[in-house]
Structure 1
Amino acid sequence: MTNDKKRWLILILLAFISALLLAITSTAISIYLYGNKTYTAKAEAAIVLGAAVWGEEPSPVFRERINHAINLYQNQQINKIIFTGGVGEPNEAAEAIIGKNYALARQVKLNDILTETESRTTYQNLKNARSVADNSKLNKFLIVSDPLHMKRAVLMARNLDMDAYPSPTPTTRYSSLRSQIEFLIRETFFYFVYLVFQI
């Protein structure tokens, strides 16, 4: 291979790497900025995306998502709360059931709580929540999760033909710089995976 060909191959490779890094960086920035958006108008229901549970209690991350949904309910921004999430570990209750019990203990009415207990991923959370919502004729939703999770979650919901809007948890447990960077890296990767594979 001649020196000219080698030079061109190196230039093409550098251009490809630069374009890839630019795409990754711009996507990460858009995910971060999107997490600061909040839809303040009313919706029919909040969909609380599942997270880990600790025994019979929600993990700190899940607890703050639930608290945010309860605040939306108490402020009459929503009429119903849909809890999502199946069993994460053997012998644990489903995430949705833990969320439901936590909300009931804080004066959310039983008739205003809906659950789905089979999902294990964000996409499954939303797809199953849509089925639950369809059965109750609910059409407009606030998606409740951590801020850096919002962009992918709302994109998934809208691709499922849901009239969905972001409602990021203001008291997210991902508040330290390290935890935010780790979450952002992970979420950027999964955002690209979803764009490519729709999963």
Structure 2
Amino acid sequence: MKVRTTGDGPEKAGHHGADEEATRVFTRLSTFEPDARDLRDDADHPGDDHARTFRRISGGAEAAAPPEPAPTRTFTRDTLSLPGRDGPPDEPDRLEDPRTLRRPARTRRPRSIGRIVRRTVALLVLTVILLPCATWAWVWYTARQDERPPSDAIVVLGASQYNGRPSPVFEARLRHAAHLYEEGVAPTVVTVGGNQPGDNFTEGGSGARWLVEQGVPADSVIPIGKGSDTLESLELVAQVFEERGWRTAVIVSDPWHSLRSREIAEDFGIEAATSPARSGPAVLERETQLWYITRETASLWHYWIFGESAAVRVDAL
């Protein structure tokens, strides 16, 4: 064995010439980097090559250094300019983003005159159809009501009479009025109605005599021997009410005649209720009822439009 002398002392040389490296300390590391604080400089320690110490760096050179921040990229949304748009001369034409475009307000198309005329005509036709139907239902509904409030007088509208004798329709009205008088609805009964050419008796006079014969006191009956239709008869009744200071009345007529009678009486300033007679020829047959309702609907519209009574009499029987 040979002995080799170094700056620090004699060393033994190993096999394969590895004696110099025998004192070096190595550690298996995934990544090695000499520590600048522990690495001895050859200038300060000449000949001490085998006494170097290595330190493990956990993350390597790349991990040891702090990561550089990623560069920040700034984006700006370009608006696309529409054709014909004025812009700065130094900027290219751009189109606005469709998502930023404001939707223009919808403009209502003007309606044509023909369209307005068609709708107006359709509305008028619908009105012409619906209003008579509604009036027909109103006449039917009022005919089914029986109102008997305490009043100043009971007014019996006239009907045909034959030589001083009331017709079946008129007699049914008078009988109902006598019943109301007995119930105490009003202290006075007013009978109204004129006569036809050649008649010796009037409807009002014939009705008053019939009531007296049935037991109604004569001083409780007021006959009005004039009036050729409902409008004229109620106008005469309104004059009597005004003379006596009366305001309220219960009108006795056929069921289908009740609505028109009440409307006319109220136009003359009378607070009217209706209590129709429910016996007699006017209410016996369904066909007769339908005819009277239809006729009264037309008569009511005739009064509303022209302000006069229809020419055909309700009490034809």
TM over 0.5: yes
Give 1:194 shift: 0.9
Structure 2 equivalent of residue 179 of structure 1 = 288
Q: Which amino acid aligns with 1:162?
A: I
Q: Deviations over 1:53-81 (max 9, x none)?
A: 12221111111111111001111111100
Which stretch shows the higher mean deviation, 126-135 or 150-159?
126-135
- Check whether the contact 2:149–2:250 (CA below 8 A) recurs between aligned residues: no
Q: Which amino acid aligns with 1:193?
A: H
Distance 1:154 1:172, change over 3 A: farther
Query: In structure 2, the residue corresponding to 1:164 is in which secondary structure?
Result: strand
Residue segments in structure 2 that go unaligned for 5+ positions in a row: 1-112, 309-317
Q: Which amino acid aligns with 1:184?
A: I
Aligned counterpart in structure 2 of residue 145 of structure 1, from 253, 258, 263: 253
2:299 matches 1:190:
yes
Q: Matched residues in 1 for 2:238 and 2:220: separation?
A: 16
Distance 1:43 1:8, change over 3 A: closer
Structure 2 equivalent of residue 72 of structure 1 = 180
Structure 1 equivalent of residue 207 of structure 2 = 99
Structure 1 equivalent of residue 148 of structure 2 = 40
Give 1:52 shift: 0.8
Q: Which amino acid aligns with 1:163?
A: E
Query: In structure 1, the residue corresponding to 2:214 is in which secondary structure?
Result: coil
Q: Which amino acid aligns with 1:136?
A: R
What is the count of residue pairs matched by the alignment? Answer: 195
2:142 matches 1:27:
no
Q: Deviations over 1:90-144 (max 9, x none)?
A: 1231100010110010111111011211211101111101212333333211011
2:157 matches 1:49:
yes
2:195 matches 1:87:
yes
Larger RCO of the pair (alpha carbons < 8 Å, separation 6+): 1
Q: Which amino acid aligns with 2:154?
A: A
- Check whether the contact 1:47–1:82 (CA below 8 A) recurs between aligned residues: yes
TM superposition score normalised by structure 1? 0.89
Q: Matched residues in 1 for 2:266 and 2:247: separation?
A: 12
Q: Matched residues in 2 for 1:130 and 1:11: separation?
A: 44
Once superposed, what is the RMSD of the aligned Cα atoms?
A: 2.0
Residue segments in structure 1 that go unaligned for 5+ positions in a row: none
TM superposition score normalised by structure 2? 0.57
- Check whether the contact 1:28–1:184 (CA below 8 A) recurs between aligned residues: yes
User: Which structure 2 residues correspond to residues 153-172 of structure 1 after superposition, within 5 A?
Assistant: 153-172=261-280
Structure with greater proportional helix content: 1
